[in-house]
């Protein structure tokens, strides 16, 4: 397969160079890729620590072997304004996930093993370059926690062919510190979704009791690497941390603890998208998880926003 030419977007103010472009120019990106691929031999790429040999195509919780699987890729206009801009965010939706959220709104992509196509590094690189040629403002890796080595492997190929767009790491925050170490200097914009604070609730709804602790560690490391979100003169994100939080039925107090954490242990300048689009999905029904089998009430959303403001947060996504 031949790669499309990775011409950078024309016109306007030239953005700050993407981190991986700098690493590649210095000759450091290749070594990062080699180190990442070695991790697949005894996989502890995410907090599940499955220790399977994915280099030999063995599979653990994520049901993903040597090659990443992609469900779809396209310019996405449903992301935050600072990501979608006027030409879209270049999203690549990886199939499968290392969580098992019972309310997952993308369960068909994240939980169904038959969904998605395995892609070689060359094909994955080609997708990134195609999105750049379409004019997308960034490359947005969606649910990449379990395929960090494969994404890096393809990124090297794409960088050699002329990819220059910022990388958005769009994650549940169930990441390992080792993976984030490999991504240091590569990812420009971290976009974690801090879902749940309480361990018992996390075990019930995400099937991962250690998720809250892993998410707190991950967000601190992400912030250490990229700092608060920086926008260019056109309002586009260029570098930094953007945190998403989905408000869930009956969990206002849990959300409040997350807001306090962001303000007190990350930064009061943290850019936050408090999302109100929860709806019962996947395994949620009157029979199973009936307590969250409804949409949120307006007052619940407003309470979480007030918790955030009281904690000291002041940068919120303001899409209409």
Q: In whole angstroms, what is the distance from residue 204 CA to residue 221 CA?
A: 26
Contacts of 31 (CB under 8 A, 6+ apart): none
CA 311 from centre of chain:
25
- The pLDDT of residue 70: 98
CATH code of the domain in which 205 resides: 3.20.20.70
1 lies in some domain: no
**Other CB atoms within 10 A of residue 67 CB:** 18
In a domain, 11, yes or no: no
Structure tokens at 218: 């991950």
Task: State residue 242's pLDDT score.
Answer: 98
Examine residue 245 and state whether it is found in any structural domain, yes or no: yes
Give the pLDDT confidence score for residue 112 in this predicted structure: 85
Structure tokens at 230: 């920086």
Quick check: 167 and 20 in contact, CB under 8 A?
A: yes
pLDDT 10s digits, 147-186: 999 999 999 999 999 999 999 999 999 999 999 999 999 9
- Which pLDDT belongs to residue 124? 98
Task: Render pLDDT for 47-58 as a digit per residue (tens, 0 to 9).
Answer: 999 999 999 999
Q: Tell whether 282 is covered by a domain.
A: yes
Tell me if 233 is assigned to some domain: yes
| Residue 89: inside a domain | yes
* Residue carrying the six token digits 């960090």: 148
Contact by Cβ (8 Å): 145, 98? yes
In a domain, 9, yes or no: no
Amino acid 13: pLDDT:
41
Query: Which residue range(s) make up the domain with 166?
Result: 19-316
Radius of gyration for the alpha carbons in the chain, expressed in angstroms and rounded: 19
Residue 180 is assigned to a structural domain of this protein: yes
Residues of the chain with pLDDT under 70: 1-15, 319-320
Q: What pLDDT sits at residue 121? A: 98
Total tally of structural domains belonging to the chain:
1
- The tokens for 301 are 């959303």
pLDDT given at position 200? 98
């Amino acid at each position: 397969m031949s790669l499309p030419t990775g011409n950078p977007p024309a016109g306007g103010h030239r953005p700050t160079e993407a981190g991986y472009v700098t690493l590649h120019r210095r000759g450091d990106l290749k070594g990062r890729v080699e180190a990442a691929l070695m991790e697949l031999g005894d996989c502890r790429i995410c907090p599940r620590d499955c220790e399977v040999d994915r280099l030999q195509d063995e599979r653990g919780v994520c049901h993903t072997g040597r090659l990443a699987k992609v469900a779809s890729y396209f310019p996405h206009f449903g992301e935050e304004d600072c990501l979608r801009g006027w030409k879209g965010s270049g999203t690549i939706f990886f199939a499968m996930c290392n969580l098992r959220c019972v309310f997952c709104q993308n369960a068909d992509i994240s939980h169904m093993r038959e969904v998605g196509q395995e892609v070689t590094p060359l094909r994955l690189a080609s997708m990134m370059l195609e999105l750049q040629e379409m004019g997308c403002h960034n490359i947005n890796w969606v649910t990449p926690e379990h395929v960090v080595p494969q994404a890096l492997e393809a990124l090297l190929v794409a960088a050699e062919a002329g990819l220059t767009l910022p990388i958005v790491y769009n994650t549940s925050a169930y990441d390992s510190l080792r993976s984030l170490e490999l991504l240091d200097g590569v990812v420009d914009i971290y976009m974690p979704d801090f879902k749940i604070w309480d361990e018992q609730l996390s075990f019930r709804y995400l099937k991962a009791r250690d998720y809250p602790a892993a998410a707190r560690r991950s967000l601190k490391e992400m912030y250490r690497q990229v700092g608060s979100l920086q926008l260019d003169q056109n309002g586009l994100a260029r570098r930094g941390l953007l945190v998403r939080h989905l408000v869930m039925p009956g969990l206002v107090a849990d959300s409040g603890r997350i807001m306090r954490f962001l303000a007190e242990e990350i930064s009061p300048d943290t850019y936050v998208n408090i999302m109100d689009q929860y709806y019962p999905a996947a395994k949620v029904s009157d029979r199973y998880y009936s307590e969250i089998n409804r949409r949120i009430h307006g007052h619940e959303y407003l309470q979480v926003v007030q918790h955030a403001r009281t904690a000291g947060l002041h940068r919120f996504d303001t899409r209409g």
